[in-house]
Amino acid sequence: MAPPSSFGDKVFKWLTLAMALAVVALVFLVGWQLARGSSLAIRRFGFHFLATSTWDPVAEQFGALPFIYGTAVSSLIALIIAVPLSIATAVYLTELAPPWIRQPIISLIEMLAAIPSVILGLWGIFVMIPWLRDHPFPFLKKIFGWTPFFREPIYGVSMLAGGIIIAVMILPIITSVSREILRSVPNLQREAAYALGATRWEVTRIAVLSYAKKGLFGAVILGLGRALGETMAVTMVIGNTPQIRASLFAPGYTLASVIANEFTEATTDLYLQALFEIGLVLFGITILANLLAQLLLKTLGSTIKSGAVQ
């Protein structure tokens, strides 16, 4: 008979395996349900669903392209704004800030994370958008008006406003995860750089950021996951117009927003199925983004990993 400890090990092993499988099963289940819920639409539109831009429930014409575009662009804008800000904040907090200033900043960022999405959306409508419309947008137009991205008339609600509000929403998570990652860089690494006569910035660059870059990339991907699925606040400021425009001042629409907005009014079967398919697409994009990120991490890390074992 096996001694009790080995029996315990076995139970533990199977239990953890079961848990892990349950998570995987859950993901597949969600995917399968979404696919089943949209089977009619999938059969009806096929690949065209992803490639056409008409969203006309009355004529029962459904194309997801503007929403895919809207989700991609608004998330991209959010990342472009939030990633440098968050990582810079995290670097400041771990490497540069005097101790007394750290806690207040950290608390503030945590508070930002605690604001409900809908409240942030209200703030977006009543404070952010009027301000954007009056000051930064005209300024951007004046400077970059020659590019297609900042050309059209300014309404306020826009792809850019959507991206900015998502940036606000993902900033806390990227910052706090990055901060943890930077804190986990061994002090010995910093000392190695200091001993070579590196300045603080050089220490941060050669000893801290390069050591932490994989982890920081993970933090960004976490932020991207949030950005893709962010719904409420974006819906309130992006303009909810299914169109593909180069101009970031033009209103847009995201996958998540269209589901939230139109689910209750989807009166026909096909309409509901189309919305389900939108959900499936969003689900697919999120998973794809994560897989790609992991692949990227692998190739990024392989140069280091190959030598990690002595």
Partner 1 sequence: MESAAIIDPPMITPVSLPQQQVTSDSGSADVAPERPHAFAVERLSIFYGEKKAIEDVTLTIPSKMITAIIGPSGCGKSTLLRSLNRMHELVPNTRIEGKVLFAGKDIYAPEVDPVVIRRRIGMVFQKSNPFPTMSIAENVLVGLKLNGVRDRAFLRERLEQSLRMAALWDEVKDDLHKPGISLSGGQQQRLCIARAVAVEPEVLLMDEPASALDPIATAKIEELIHELSSNYTVVIVTHNMQQAGRCSDYTAFLYLGRLIEFASTTKIFTNPSERQTEDYITGRFG
Query: Which is nearer to partner 1, 169 or 220 (by Cβ)?
Result: 220
Q: Shortest gap between Cβ of 296 and partner 1 (angstroms)? A: 16
Query: Which is nearer to partner 1, 111 or 196 (by Cβ)?
Result: 196
Task: Return d(Cα 90, Cα 204) in angstroms, integer.
Answer: 11
Task: Classify residue 20 by burial, with Cβ atoms within 10 Å: 0-12, 13-18, 19+.
Answer: exposed
Token readout for 36 is: 């089943």
Token readout for 40 is: 């009619």
Query: Which is nearer to partner 1, 69 or 211 (by Cβ)?
Result: 211
Q: Which residues bind partner 1 (CB under 8 A)?
A: 99, 186-199, 202, 206-207, 210-211, 213, 303-304, 306-308, 310
Task: Return d(Cα 25, Cα 44) in angstroms, integer.
Answer: 28
Contact between 109 and 180 under an 8 Å Cβ cutoff? The reply is no
Query: Which is nearer to partner 1, 3 or 99 (by Cβ)?
Result: 99
Task: Classify residue 236 by burial, with Cβ atoms within 10 Å: 0-12, 13-18, 19+.
Answer: buried
- 264 Cα distance to chain centroid: 26
CA distances to 22, 75, 82 from 284, rounded to whole Å, are 19, 15, 24
Q: Shortest gap between Cβ of 196 and partner 1 (angstroms)? A: 4
Q: Shortest gap between Cβ of 306 and partner 1 (angstroms)? A: 7
Q: Shortest gap between Cβ of 35 and partner 1 (angstroms)? A: 42
Q: Shortest gap between Cβ of 197 and partner 1 (angstroms)? A: 3
Query: Which is nearer to partner 1, 23 or 308 (by Cβ)?
Result: 308
Q: Shortest gap between Cβ of 303 and partner 1 (angstroms)? A: 7
Task: Return d(Cα 15, Cα 18) in angstroms, integer.
Answer: 5
| Phi, psi of 61, rounded to the nearest 5 degrees | -110, 120
Query: Which is nearer to partner 1, 102 or 141 (by Cβ)?
Result: 102
Q: Shortest gap between Cβ of 87 and partner 1 (angstroms)? A: 17
Contact between 41 and 270 under an 8 Å Cβ cutoff? The reply is yes
- Beta bridge partners, 62, equal 55
Query: Which is nearer to partner 1, 5 or 306 (by Cβ)?
Result: 306
